[in-house]
Amino acid sequence: MKILLQFPEGLKQKALEHAKALESEGNEVFISASPTFGACDLAIDEAKNLGADKLIHFGHAEFHHVDFNVEYIEYRIDAPLTLLEPSLQHISNYKKIGLVTTIQHVHQLDSIREFYEKNGKEVFIGRPYGFAKARGQILGCDIGSAASIDKDVDVHIYFGGGIFHPLGALLATTKPFLAIEPFDNRIEFIDRMRETYRKKRNGRIMASLNANNFGILLSTKNGQHNMQLAKMLKSRIEAHGFNAEILASNTFDFESINNMMEFDAFVNTACPRISIDDNDRLRKPLLSANEIMDVLRMKNELKNLQK
């Protein structure tokens, strides 16, 4: 069988090992050297161009159905649970806790739940909206497991590495948010970041109020492509008397976008995290779909005031 292997950045170090194992079984193997951001970003075009029979995508669970032979190999990591005991000091004032994690540690949620229940806590584990598959699992673009239990809990606890995943959940919830990073040996409340990001959001909206020309980012990645939204936003912006063009790319290069100096602001329809995480890489504001609607409404109100 002809197989294309695709690894996210953190697992690319395992590529040779997996390729050799599959070759020893008689397969012809290729390794995708392109950057990979998630299971929203399957290398199907590369697989088709290579004439591959199958794509093996490592490190992520299925994101959405695609019309190609894709095998998903999730990576589960047993993180040490030694920080659970000291975490109790941080949540001593809270009874009801919500638990979220990434796909790598979702199999550990039962043990974590048991630990907190034995220590007198009531534990809630929410459901994702659909892109994530397991209860308690969060993705950068699916924070349903936290948002769905926000009203029930006194505090949210994220167990896992990095800030990328808990940040989305933090911004979609209202309760205190404790991050436990088992490999960095760190336990900290990250609530203060809500205010930082709220100010950034207000800043990009204000910076877009004089914009006349909008560039709408449309991704060609299979799980991020949203032509309907891009066209709808273009027609809304034009209906308000401004210019809008759709800018298509597979992986957006912010240097290239910065070269498009005729545009006064950009609107994101690709991975929703781009407008949260990558704004500082652009010279012009990069708005989410909701934010451009706020901008259009405010521009309209300003126009009416000036009449």
Binding site for ligand SF4 (CB under 6 A): 37-38, 40, 139-141, 223-224, 271, 273
Amino acid of residue 163: I
| CA–CA distances in Å: residue 260 to residues 77, 131, 153, 238, 291 | 42, 32, 46, 19, 21
Shortest Cβ 195–ligand SF4 spacing (Å) = 23
Shortest Cβ 60–ligand SF4 spacing (Å) = 7
Report the alpha-carbon distance of residue 29 to residue 135 in Å, rounded: 34
Select 40 or 55, whichever has its Cβ closest to ligand SF4: 40
* Cβ partners under 8 Å of residue 71, min gap 6: 54, 55, 56, 57
Select 66 or 81, whichever has its Cβ closest to ligand SF4: 66
Q: Which two tokens stand for residue 114?
A: 């048991």
3-class SS string, 115-152: HHHHCCCEEECCCCCCCCCCCCECECCECHHHHCCCCC
Strand order in the sheet with 286-287: 243-249, 213-219, 265-268, 286-287
Nearest residue to ligand SF4 on Cβ basis: 140
Report the alpha-carbon distance of residue 299 to residue 306 in Å, rounded: 11
Report the alpha-carbon distance of residue 152 to residue 157 in Å, rounded: 13
Select 228 or 306, whichever has its Cβ closest to ligand SF4: 228
Shortest Cβ 79–ligand SF4 spacing (Å) = 20
Select 225 or 240, whichever has its Cβ closest to ligand SF4: 225
Select 237 or 286, whichever has its Cβ closest to ligand SF4: 286
Shortest Cβ 38–ligand SF4 spacing (Å) = 3
Shortest Cβ 33–ligand SF4 spacing (Å) = 18
Shortest Cβ 139–ligand SF4 spacing (Å) = 5
Report the alpha-carbon distance of residue 172 to residue 170 in Å, rounded: 5
Select 108 or 224, whichever has its Cβ closest to ligand SF4: 224
